[in-house]
Amino acid sequence: MSKSVPSDAKALWGGRFTTPAAERLRDYTQSVSFDWQLYRHDIAGSIAHAKMLNQIRVLTASELKVIIDGLLEIRAQIDRGQFKWRTDLEDVHMNIEAELTARCPTGAKLHTGRSRNDQVATAMRLWLKEKIAANQGAIAGLQAALETWASRDIKVVIPGYTHLQRAQPVLLAHHLLAYVEMLERDYQRLADCAKRVDVLPLGSGAIAGSTLPLDREFVRKLLGFARVSENSMDAVSDRDFIVEYNAACALLAVHLSRLAEDLILWSSAEFHFIRIGDAYTTGSSLMPQKKNPDIAELARGKTGRVIGNLVALLTLLKGLPMTYNRDLQEDKERMFDTAETVQSTLLIFAEMLGHIEVNADACARAAADPLLLATDLADWLVRKGIAFRDAHHLVGAAVALAEKRKVPITKLTLTEWKKISPVFDKSALEVFSVEKGLAARTTTGSPNPKLVKQQLVRWQNILAERKHPSS
C-alpha cells in the first residue's frame, strides 16, 4: 500500500519547498475559479492515462479500478454541485488529484509520467473539440433560421444598398442568404481549426517526454484524438489552436455584428422593414413608446470583447520563450469567454429570427424607387450600341434633370428623353419594372427569383445533413 500523501499545495509541488505558499500568492496564482470548467475533460484524460499506466504495468488492475472509481465519484459529485473547490490548490487539476489522493492513497500514482503542462493542454483540447462542434451546430441553426425566413418571404423585394444608399433591387431572401454564405465560411473555418485542435499532447511531460515506456497511441485512441503531437516542447507550449479558434470566432462575431446592424436599421421607424417580436426586444425606463432591438445591439457590442480576446491572446504569446510559462494560465478565460459569447449570440439570434415580421408594404414602397433601375437603363443603352461609359453619362444626365424638375425619372417626357439622347424611345421606360429587372438577372449568384429559389433548396439540403450539438 502506498503511503498517503497530504493534499495541500506544498505536497503536490514536492519536497523542494519547506514553507507553505503565502496567502496572497495563492490568491493571485489560482485559476480554479474559472478552469473548473475543464473538470470532465481532466477526468477523462486522467482515466485514459491510468488505463495506459496499467497497460505498461505501472498500475495493477486493482489500483486502476480504485483510481477510476474514485475519479468517477468525484465527477458525479461535481456534476451535482456538491464538490468544494479549494483555491489553495491552484487549479482544477490539483483539486481533483488532491481529492482523489485523499480518498484513496493509490491516487498518488496517477501523475506518473505526466506533467500538469501536458495534462492542461490535453484537457483544453478536449474541451475545445466539444465547443467547436457546439458552435458549428449553432451556426447551422442560425443558417436554418435565415433560410426559413427567406423562404417565408420569398416574394418580398427591398432595395440593396451600397454606402447605405439605395443601389439596386434585390429579393429580401437574397439578402438573407448572403448571411448564410458568410456563416458557412465561419462553419468551415471552425472545421479546419478543429483539425489542429485534434492533437494529443499527453505524454510530452513537462518539456522532454518521459523515461517510462508511455503508450501515447493507446491514450490517443481512448480519447479520440486524430494524432499525437510530434515535439514535446511544442506540445506543452502550443496555444496556436486557441488563437486560431479565437480568430475564427472574432470573424464570426463580426458577421453577427453586421447582421445585427441590418436588423437594427430595418426595425427603425425610418426603414420600418421589419418588426421584431416583443419577447426579443426591450423598452425604455423613461419613454413608454420605445421598443428597442437590444439583442442585436448587444451582439454588436459583444463583438468588441471577442476581438479583444483575440488581441489579448496574441499579446500574451508574442514574447514567450520556449516552452511552458505561467503566463499561459491567462489563455483560458479568453477561450472560455469567446466560446460562451459567440454560442449564446448564435442561439438567441436563431430564436429571434423566428419572431420577426416583415412589413411588406414598406419594403415594396422602398423597392418601387425607379432610380434603383438606373443601371438597367444604362444596360438598355448598351444593347442599343452605346458604350457603357457614355450610357452611364446619359442616364446620369436624366437623373440630374429629374432631380432638377423634382419628379421621378419615369415622369420625364419623351421630348426630354430625346434631348438627352435621340436613342431613347418609349421602350426605354419598360426598364422601370422591378419584376422584369430581377428576372433579367440570370448570372449565377444574382437575385433572380428562380435562382434564389434554387439556392434555398440547396441550403435546405445542406443543412438537413448537418448533425451537431448546439448547446
pLDDT, residue 6, reads 41
Within a domain: 60 = yes
Tell me if residue 452 falls in helix, strand or coil: helix
All three cell numbers of 286, joined, read: 423613461
175 phi and psi, to 5 degrees?
-60, -45
Q: Which one of 53, 85, 112 terminates a domain?
A: 112
* CA–CA dist 102, 97 (Å, integer): 8
pLDDT, residue 116, reads 96
* CA–CA dist 100, 110 (Å, integer): 9
Within a domain: 44 = yes
Residue 64 belongs to domain with CATH number:
1.10.275.10
Choose the catalytic residue: 163, 257, 267, 471. Answer: 163
Nearest to 275 by CA among 286, 283, 267: 267
Are 99 and 248 in the same domain?
Answer: no
Q: Which domain holds residue 375?
A: 369-440
Residue 408 belongs to domain with CATH number:
1.10.40.30
Are 121 and 50 in the same domain?
Answer: no
* CA–CA dist 268, 81 (Å, integer): 45
Number of domains in the chain: 3
Beta carbons of 20 and 88 less than 8 angstroms apart: no
Are 146 and 195 in the same domain?
Answer: yes
Residue 249 belongs to domain with CATH number:
1.20.200.10
pLDDT, residue 19, reads 82
Are 122 and 65 in the same domain?
Answer: no
pLDDT, residue 470, reads 63
Are 88 and 127 in the same domain?
Answer: no
* CA–CA dist 467, 448 (Å, integer): 31
* CA–CA dist 408, 405 (Å, integer): 9
Tell me if residue 161 falls in helix, strand or coil: strand
All three cell numbers of 56, joined, read: 505498461
Within a domain: 456 = no
Within a domain: 4 = no
For the entire predicted model, the pTM comes to: 0.94
Are 177 and 237 in the same domain?
Answer: yes
All three cell numbers of 88, joined, read: 489553495
Are 136 and 188 in the same domain?
Answer: yes
Beta-strand relationship, 356-358 and 274-276: antiparallel
- The C-alpha angle 192, 196, 197, rounded to 5 degrees, equals 105
Chain position carrying cell 470566432: 249
Are 270 and 237 in the same domain?
Answer: yes
Within a domain: 380 = yes
Q: Is 163 a catalytic residue?
A: yes
Q: Which one of 59, 85, 112 terminates a domain?
A: 112
Within a domain: 462 = no
Are 354 and 386 in the same domain?
Answer: no
Are 76 and 181 in the same domain?
Answer: no
Are 142 and 174 in the same domain?
Answer: yes
pLDDT, residue 1, reads 33
Q: Write b or e for each residue in 271-306: b if 16 or more Cβ atoms lie within 10 A of its Cβ, otherwise e.
A: bebbebeeebbeeeeeeeeeeebebbbebbebbeeb
Residue 458 CB neighbour total at 10 angstroms: 13
Chain position carrying cell 426586444: 281
C-alpha dist (Å) from residue 154 to 105, 114, 457: 67, 58, 12
Q: Which one of 363, 380, 412 terminates a domain?
A: 363
Each residue's pLDDT expressed in tens, for the chain with a length of 471 residues? 333 334 454 555 566 777 888 889 889 999 999 999 999 999 999 999 999 999 999 999 999 999 999 999 999 999 999 999 999 999 999 999 999 999 999 999 999 999 999 999 999 999 999 999 999 999 999 999 999 999 999 999 999 999 999 999 999 999 999 999 999 999 999 999 999 999 999 999 999 999 999 999 999 999 999 999 999 999 999 999 999 999 999 999 999 999 999 999 999 999 999 999 999 999 989 998 899 999 999 999 999 999 999 999 999 999 999 999 999 999 999 999 999 999 999 999 999 999 999 999 999 999 999 999 999 999 999 999 999 999 999 999 999 999 999 999 999 999 999 999 999 999 999 999 999 999 999 999 999 999 999 999 999 999 999 876 666
Within a domain: 247 = yes
Choose the catalytic residue: 62, 284, 355, 471. Answer: 284
Beta carbons of 225 and 264 less than 8 angstroms apart: no
Within a domain: 86 = yes
Are 64 and 124 in the same domain?
Answer: no
